[in-house]
Structure 1
Amino acid sequence: MSIHLTSLVNQLRAILGKMEVALGTIADAIVWTGSDGKIQWCNTAFDKLVNRPHILVLNSKLSDLLFLSLADEAVAPESYPNMRVLAGEYEITEEYECRDGKHRSLILEISGNCVELAGGDRSSTLVIRDVTQAKHWETEGYLAQQKQAETLSLLQATLESTADGIIVVNQEFNVAVFNQKFIQMWSIPESLLQPSQSNERFKFMSEQTRDPEAFIARVKELFYKFPEQEAFDLVEMKNGRVFERYSQPQWKGDKIIGRVWSFRDITARQQVEKALSESEIKFRRIVENSNDIISLIDLEGRISYISPNLAKLTGYETTELEGIPFADFIHPDDLPSCLDAVNRVVTTGERLEVEYRARLKDGSWQWQATNLAKTDDIDGQQFSL
């Protein structure tokens, strides 16, 4: 061999050596098999993948080192990626399941290419990537997204099922969360819920209240002056409606990131309370101006209410009798007939009139006639005298 040829051979060996080192540093496994399916060359990553010494890998069949399966069915040796590459049947990249001798389960992404050699020989080059961890992360990410979607769906369903109008705004006063009840209560166009519309939304809401300036001042006070404060108050609207307003800060760890506002329409409740209050005033006026004494006795026989005109007829003040058993003021000779009448009224619900002698404050006795009737209230049954 001439010196020139020897030099070229040495240069070629040096280049091949460098290529061997370079390919050995690649994380993907690379393997070269001949037409007989036996391994002619592989890099270090492939040795690690099959967990065999390099010397034992060479000239072994790929199907004897990698135990591949598809859909839980073992791949036949003639259907291995390298054999399919040689037959021109292999796709660019396919995924396989792989189990080694330790029953370790892997997911391998295998790319293949057919190489035509001098003399017409054909070889298969495979690049094998272990995507097990990536698939695991992908699955975990998908499950996390599903869990997050379920949580958000549950949160939204909860928000929509409440009778309150709810809105959550961040520190920039942009809307983070709201429910349809909020939109209905305030008649807000959804266009005003966009981030760029915070000032317009605030103005739109305040102009519906009887005191826009007070509404704005309270919101700003809670946002900027007392951000950690919880608040509860009433908002009167120009159209006569009344909203309960509850607000509290939204926390993330130890940091306030926004504020939650809850509105409840209590217009109907206030109207009922007003009607009850007016009815009670009328009732008291009637009772207080009546010539008769009106009293309520509970089921234990104690006086729970007695009209103020009591003082004129008996000399007692109402506070002296309330909570005292009514039997204490009945003449002993008349008490049995009174108790019998009371028992009949309570058990049968009929109305009765009974006459008896009642003790006045000065100790004298006075004949009185009383109408007995059973009545119900929120605390239980009572009868009136």
Structure 2
Amino acid sequence: MMSAQQLEQIEQLQATLSKMQVTLNAIAEAVVWVDENQGVQWCNASFELLVNQPDSTILDSRLNNLLPLARAGQPLAPQFYPDVLLHQGEYKTTEYEFGEGDRSLMLQISGSCTGEAPGKSAVLVIREITQAKDDITLTQSTQASLPESEEQLRTLINATPDIISFKDGEGRWLESNPATLELLELQGVDYRGKTDAELAEFSHFYRDALLGCHITDEEAWQKGSVHRQEEIIPRPDGTVSVVDMIKVPLFYPDGRRKGLVILGRDISDKKRVEEALQASEARLNTILSRTLAAIERARVYANRDWQYEYISPSSVAIWGYCAEEIMGDNNRIPSRIYPEDWAVMSQRCFDAVFAERPFNYEYRYNHPDGSLHWISVTVTSVRDEVADCWIATAISTDISDKKRVEAALSESEAKFRTIVENANAVLAITNVEGILSYVSPNVTNLTGWTPAELEGQSFAPYIHPDDLPKCLEVINRHLAGELAVEFQYRVRHKDGSWRWQICNSSVSRDANGQLLFITVTRDITDHKLAEEALKASEARLNTILNSTLAVIYCMRAYANRELNYEYCSAGSLELWGYSPEQLIADKNSLLSRIVPEDLETTLQQGFNTIYAEGTGQVEYRYNHPDGNLRWISSDLTSVRDEATDSWFVTVISMDITDRKLAEEALKVSEARLNTILNSALAAIYRVRVYANREWNYEYCSAGSVQLWGYSPEQLIADKNSFLWRIAHEDLETTLQQGFNAIFTEGTCEREYRYNHPDGTLRWISFNLSSVRDEATDSWIATIISTDITERKRKDYSATFPGISSTKT
């Protein structure tokens, strides 16, 4: 029979274990026990939340099945999981990547082993470290129970870096983890059973702090519930730590004091970040007022209403209104956006905000000064569950200059493409095996081969060996769903020489539903240099020129030219190919990709600006991880921080590749155009014709604007827009001959007079061919039309010398 003293000791032990169990469910870290067979034997509520499974499905499951981990983007093999390495005695605290569904987290896993074989267990403590300096999250749950093992509980407590200690009702220390003893310099001291005052004699530096602990202890006892406050703790190195201290009093049923649970977490980094952010806010406003980039932050609600929280001073330059005017009227900016742009943008933007995914859009804006501006906006959002809303951040930039350059380049390229496409174009039809079923007659002029020599043959033997893989890849891209591809290759001329070709390939189907590749090929041997200059521009037009990248990042610079990133916006992934976390972890990942001849100049200009506490701008070339060379412009400003003997630098970087390439390509294109602008104009179009003589455009090249005065979109929307401009005496004959050729699947050549919208009378020649489409009970007609007005005038002048052809 146990003595009263033994019973009291057991009761105290049980009370201690109970406190530890409460503590383990109160901490934010996930905790899990894994046996030697890799089966989970116990976990706390935080682990259940992490793997999003209940306790009933977790127990006895393997950790690698519950928690898919990765290192450097590569899945972690089962034999390298923390629990396996712990059992082998080869593990140390490590960071892992964890992704499941839409979640992507960084986890820090520490642990130790307890017990002896065969009952040996691995105890893992898992901390989510994705967003550094987060507020402490205390998760209390009573859904699971801890094993009745004091040794395992103590092992777990010893593994956490937070302060954990227990005192009895008289203030005597019962348990404490190494983190607490290390903080108070009590390592090696037999602390159990001693009061704060007694322990103060063992710690010279923290003597006063220990002597003052009873004050906050008593506040917790008096409050009778959880007592939380921030405590300032000086450190021997002259710094101070800010600790978020939680004290939980426990009482016997009769009201007597039973024990005190003490939890603490160092939040010094969080405090420093908050202070740094407050200090930088004024500097950021100064920077933003000097650049054409406005930043907005708003709370967005499920009913699609929103409330601005912040608008940068640059709003005046972007929209013509100050922040107060915009925040006072939510409709002030939308009312000046083109209605058709606002209808699309608002719908897509709200959808993106609610889905918490990035959103980019360009829209037209009627500026209060009467001018039309193009604005590019990038929006990101995060859910605020407490306020039941989304916090959206938008960066808006004025891209009007870029749009003007883009429009000029587009017009120049359209003219150039129209002339080149129709001067020496070859139309061909190829099946998925690469067999040519049709080649237009002009192939003889380009390659020396006749259609009869090529039809029924594979195209492969005629392609340069170095270019054949590229051509085969185009077929694979079409089979994968890509509808249109433009590429260049060399083809063998009948005389043995190699000729450069540019090919526009699209997808169609025959009457049996089999895939066909329709290609329009032009000889570009004489224009290769010009085309090489335009190739990069055309490849990037839809992916680069239509988006404006802007990244804001903050870093700390030192006199020895060392740099440390402290913040970087999410746009870094698009601009440089690295996430903010990657840049902060390794600053050289960006510097190593700057073109070497630009690097030293860029750094020198940057450091000169930083050390002068001024503002400056640098432009440099950057080898993006996606293989492209980009031009980057960075505006930076710095402020001296005497406290840390450093400079605080804020930088806004934007992608100016589109402008650089567009300007360069435009110059090259315009130089080439001067030599060919006097060539004939032509347009290629494809129509679907039915037996009742109804027909619809399916495609029309951009040359329609010059030829008929209507864009492809206008012709496709209204086919009669140009028919009524054909001379009445030519219209019926032209249509009759055209339909006859179409219905007989033949060819037709015809000339007609056309009253152009610019007031001139023009002669148009067209060549028509057709093929029957049994699947849709129709005919597909392909037509090449050319302006022959100048030729007609010359013929007339030769026939009737001295009489002006304008009288015809």
TM-score under structure 1 length normalisation: 0.45
Q: Which has the higher contact order (CA 8 A, sep 6+)?
A: 1
| Structure with the larger helix share | 1
Q: Which has the larger radius of gyration?
A: 1
